[in-house]
């Protein structure tokens, strides 16, 4: 068995509390005692037992991150950013995957699977406004992304509508007029879903430009996968629907669409300009490179961790929930005609 604080205390001829004080840099211990204890700790290879510490202090030093799947690039990159942000505060991250499944999402929130984490960063995919009550659990939660507004928890999100509007305007600036939208929701119910928020920006931009919309240009339904993007373009082509630009509601859709465009012999950006959303790493290496909305992933991760830590350390009354929106930007690359000679690494 690994040595405990008792073993160290015995070997050093002091009380266990003194060892504890040394370990925690508690001032109440003289310099030479401190040195002696440190030496014994080193010699024995003592490491505090985090379960015991967690039990005693009520903190484990671990936060949870629940995302649909790490196989979706955006979430892998988000997880990377979260782990880095957490590390700065000496926190570790436990990752759960929900597969975008409502049952699994709820089970994580209620199941107590994560009982010893100090707090949870939760990126919901399916649960929405109607599930607000399951969020009022005990542990601090910070929500990432959309779907639940006015809930009882902090919320870090992005400028979905205005950035989507900016993306559409970028295509309009290129002179495109028949701009397709891929990845729209097939249900208007959940007005706060990413899909519906972003779609709103699309409509706003077109309206302000005085463009008459063709509803056939909007592909609804389907998961935000490459298949959906690919099928969307195929649908346009096989039905003779003409388009000169595509706004895909995330990069994965855009990359799927890109594949179908190339396959069909359409040139990007000459025949069709293409813009995605998320600015995943892959977009700077696709052929052509992909113009995309950068939703501020790094800022989202860092803000979320900061908010969560505040909640964890909050004593007494829980203060009112806050919502933070990260700054966005449009990253212009080859798929809308902007040369990126050197396909450099993303930030």
Residues that bind a copy of itself (CB under 8 A): 2, 47-52, 54-55, 60, 62, 69-71, 73, 76-77, 79-80, 83-84, 87, 92-97, 112-116, 138, 225-227, 230, 255-256, 258-259, 262-263, 281-282, 285-287, 343-345
- Burial of 1 (C-beta count, 10 Å sphere; 0-12/13-18/19+): exposed
Structure tokens at 186: 């097939």
5 binds DNA (CB under 7 A): yes
DSSP 73-100: HHHHHHHHHHHHHHHHTT-EEEEEE-TT
Among positions 14, 156, 179, 300, the unique one binding DNA when judged by CB under 7 A: 14
Shortest distance, position 190 Cβ to a copy of itself, whole Å: 26
Name the segment binding DNA (CB under 7 A); options: 3-11, 126-134, 141-149, 289-297: 3-11
Number of H helices, E strands in the chain: 11, 12
Instruction: Return the residue of 55, 188, 242, 327 that touches DNA, per CB under 7 A.
Output: 55
By CB under 7 A, residue 4 contacts DNA: yes
Considering the rule CB under 7 A, would residue 52 count as an interface residue with DNA? yes
Angstrom distances, CA of residue 69 to CA of 52, 65, 79, 193, 229: 32, 11, 10, 18, 19
Neighbours of 98 (CB within 10 A): 23
Stretch touching DNA by CB under 7 A, among 48-56, 141-149, 206-214, 320-328: 48-56
Q: Between helices 5-12 and 31-44, what is the axis angle to 10°?
A: 120
Of 243, 239, 290, 233, give the one whose Cα is nearest residue 264. 233
10, 38, 53, 203: which one contacts DNA (CB under 7 A)? 53
Using CB distances below 5 to 8 A depending on partner kind, what does residue 29 bind out of a copy of itself, DNA, none?
DNA
Interacting partner of 77 out of a copy of itself, DNA, none (Cβ under 5 to 8 A depending on kind): a copy of itself
Binding piece for DNA, criterion CB under 7 A, among 20-28, 93-101, 167-175, 315-323: 20-28
Q: Which structure tokens are listed for 345? A: 């690494």
Of 274, 304, 285, the closest CA to residue 346 belongs to: 285
Cα–Cα distance, 298 to 258 (Å, whole number)? 26
Query: Which partner in DNA, a copy of itself, none is near 33 (CB below 5 to 8 A by kind)?
Result: DNA
The secondary element (H helix, E strand) that includes residue 323 is: strand 323-326
Which of 39, 49, 110, 271: binder of DNA (CB under 7 A)?
A: 49
CB of 5 to a copy of itself, least distance (A): 13
* 251, 277 contact by CB (below 8 A): yes
Residue count at the site for DNA (CB under 7 A)? 33
Binding interface with DNA (CB under 7 A) = 1, 4-6, 13-18, 20-21, 23-24, 26-34, 46-49, 52-53, 55-58
């Amino acid at each position: 068995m690994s040595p405990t604080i008792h073993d160290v205390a015995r070997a050093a001829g002091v009380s266990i509390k003194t060892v504890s004080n040394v370990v925690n840099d508690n001032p109440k211990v003289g310099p030479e005692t401190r040195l002696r204890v440190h030496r014994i700790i080193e010699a024995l290879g003592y490491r505090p037992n985090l379960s015991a510490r967690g039990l005693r202090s009520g903190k484990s030093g671990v936060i949870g991150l629940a995302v649909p799947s790490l196989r979706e690039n955006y979430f892998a990159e988000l997880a990377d950013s979260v782990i880095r942000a957490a590390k700065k505060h000496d926190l570790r991250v436990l990752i759960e995957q929900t597969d975008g499944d409502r049952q699994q999402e709820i089970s994580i929130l209620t199941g107590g699977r994560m009982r010893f984490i100090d707090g949870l960063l939760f990126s919901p995919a399916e649960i929405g406004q109607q599930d607000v009550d399951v969020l009022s659990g005990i542990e601090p939660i910070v929500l990432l992304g959309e779907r639940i507004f006015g809930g009882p928890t902090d919320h870090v999100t992005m400028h979905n509508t205005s950035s989507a509007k900016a993306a559409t305007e970028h295509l309009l600036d290129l002179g495109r007029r028949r701009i397709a939208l891929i990845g729209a929701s097939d249900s208007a119910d959940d007005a706060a879903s990413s899909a519906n928020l972003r779609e709103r920006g699309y409509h706003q931009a077109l309206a302000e430009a005085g463009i008459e919309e063709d509803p056939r240009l909007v592909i609804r339904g389907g998961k935000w996968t490459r298949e959906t993007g690919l099928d969307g373009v195929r649908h346009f082509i096989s039905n003779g629907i003409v388009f000169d630009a595509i706004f895909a509601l995330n990069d994965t859709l855009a990359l799927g669409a890109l594949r179908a465009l190339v396959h069909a012999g359409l040139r990007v950006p000459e025949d069709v300009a293409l813009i995605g959303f998320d600015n995943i790493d892959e977009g700077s290496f696709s052929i052509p490179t992909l113009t995309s909305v950068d939703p501020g992933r790094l800022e989202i991760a860092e803000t979320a961790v900061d908010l969560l830590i505040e909640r964890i350390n909050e004593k007494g009354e829980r203060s009112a929930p806050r919502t933070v929106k990260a700054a966005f930007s449009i990253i212009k690359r080859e798929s809308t005609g902007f040369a990126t000679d050197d396909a450099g690494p993303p930030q």
